[in-house]
Amino acid sequence: MEPHNSLTPSSPPSPPPSPPPPPRKTYKLTATSISYTKTTTNNSTTSSYTPTFLFKDCTSTLPTYILQDISLTAFPSQILAIVGPSGAGKSTLLDILAARTSPTSGTLFLNSHPIIPSSYRKLSAYVPQHDACLSLLTVSETFAFTARLLHPTSTSKEISDVVSTLLGELRLRHLSNTWCTKGLSGGEQRRVSIGLSLLHDPGILLLDEPTSGLDSGSAFNVMQTLKSISISRHRTVVVSIHQPSFKILSTIDQILLLSKGRVLHHGSLSSLQNHLNFHGFNVPPQLNALEYAMEILNQLPVPPSPTHNTNDRRDTIEIREKIKYKSSRVHEIITLSRRFWKIIYRTKQFLLTNTLEALVVGLVLGTIYINLGCTNVHSRDLVGDRDPGRVFSLLRVLHW
């Protein structure tokens, strides 16, 4: 008896797994021998025989170094903190790293290629120290209007998803319907400013003293947010900070210690402690290495500038990212007009006051032509006899 071979129905083939998303492109920012100087001129007469009202001798003094021979490297997924006392050149260096100011000498490299300022400013983001948000918009509306300008082809659902994801990343979801200035603390407003810069997904994020004016808890929350963004998005973050606390130091990967425009240390906190021990300075147990270094800045030696491989200068390859502003003029006008009318609608008293002012001024100006016949031959002379100074004085009073 032959065995009976039963044919089992084959299961349908499983769909192929979806390909993983492409890895994010990362950027390493390198500065080599950056210097920035200011030159002042003194006007003095050339001689006693030269009339002082005709000729003046411009005597230029020696240049004042704001920054001198600065070299650094900022890596992806890390936070580089530019630390130093007031007047050390932190803000000037950050402006140079953001391509907002041109250095007197030195070069900036992005992934070992010289930067192009116009392209570099599009793939990086600079967050100033002072927050600038419209007070009559909520947090979600502020993000939504900015997202519509940056992504004009996205649907309302896609814009809503982007805003929702960003609110969760910044831990502002519970404040999505809160007005930007009236219901937010200083640290929350700072996170809103950071979120506005993250909407176009910059490769490099530069922040000018993000913890300034905040209490210790709010400052630590801001730095924690920056740390999570640098790791999750593999972004390069550079911040300037006056003197971070021990908790904030736990979120910082690299330190650039400045004093009088020169680099005293560039590396991690542990390497700074080794540097102090090597030069015979023992860190007290009640202080960390950075706090102690800030107290003895004048005693620390200036290390020699590291040598960087600059062979890329002869290679004229330029990083030209395909980044452009995709919004058309019409789309920008429509989006900004919607935002404008939303703000006007929410200021009903201001709108009513402007409307009444326009009506009153129109009626007052109309009284100039009372009892003035249209067929009067001397109508032009009668209008000219009216004193225009009284009209403008009345307008000024109404405007005040």
The reported pLDDT for the residue numbered 13 is: 58
The angle, 0 to 180 degrees and rounded to 10, between the axes of the packed helices 139-150 and 186-198 is 20
Contact between 264 and 297 (Cβ < 8 Å): yes
Q: The dihedral of CA 79, 84, 87, 89: what is its sign? A: negative
Of 224, 237, 254, 160, the residue nearest 198 (C-alpha): 237
The reported pLDDT for the residue numbered 27 is: 92
Q: Hey, what are 226's tokens?
A: 């920056």
d(CA 99, CA 117) in angstroms, rounded, equals 6
For residue 80, what is the enclosing H or E element? strand 79-83
Contact between 24 and 44 (Cβ < 8 Å): no
Rg (the chain; Cα; Å) = 31
Contact between 81 and 205 (Cβ < 8 Å): no
The reported pLDDT for the residue numbered 251 is: 92
The reported pLDDT for the residue numbered 394 is: 57
CA distances to 51, 183, 238, 259, 271 from 254, in Å: 59, 34, 9, 17, 10
d(CA 367, CA 268) in angstroms, rounded, equals 77
The reported pLDDT for the residue numbered 45 is: 47
DSSP bridge partners of 80:
238, 254
d(CA 277, CA 118) in angstroms, rounded, equals 44
- pLDDT 10s digit of each residue in the chain, 400 long? 444 444 445 555 555 555 555 566 889 999 999 999 887 655 554 455 555 555 555 555 667 888 999 999 999 999 999 998 888 889 999 999 999 999 999 999 999 899 988 889 888 999 988 877 788 888 999 999 988 888 888 888 999 999 999 999 888 899 888 888 777 888 888 899 999 988 888 999 999 999 888 888 889 999 999 999 999 999 999 999 988 888 899 999 999 999 888 999 999 988 988 888 888 888 888 888 888 888 888 888 877 766 555 444 434 334 444 455 567 788 888 888 888 888 888 777 777 787 888 888 888 777 776 776 655 545 555 455 555 555 556 555 555 5
For residue 381, what is the enclosing H or E element? helix 379-385
d(CA 338, CA 352) in angstroms, rounded, equals 19
The reported pLDDT for the residue numbered 326 is: 66
Of 303, 245, 262, 260, the residue nearest 86 (C-alpha): 260
Per-residue burial over 354-392, b = 16 or more CB atoms within 10 Å of its CB, e = otherwise: eeeeeeeeeeeeeeeeeeeeeeeeeeeeeeeeeeeeeee
Q: The dihedral of CA 120, 125, 129, 134: what is its sign? A: positive
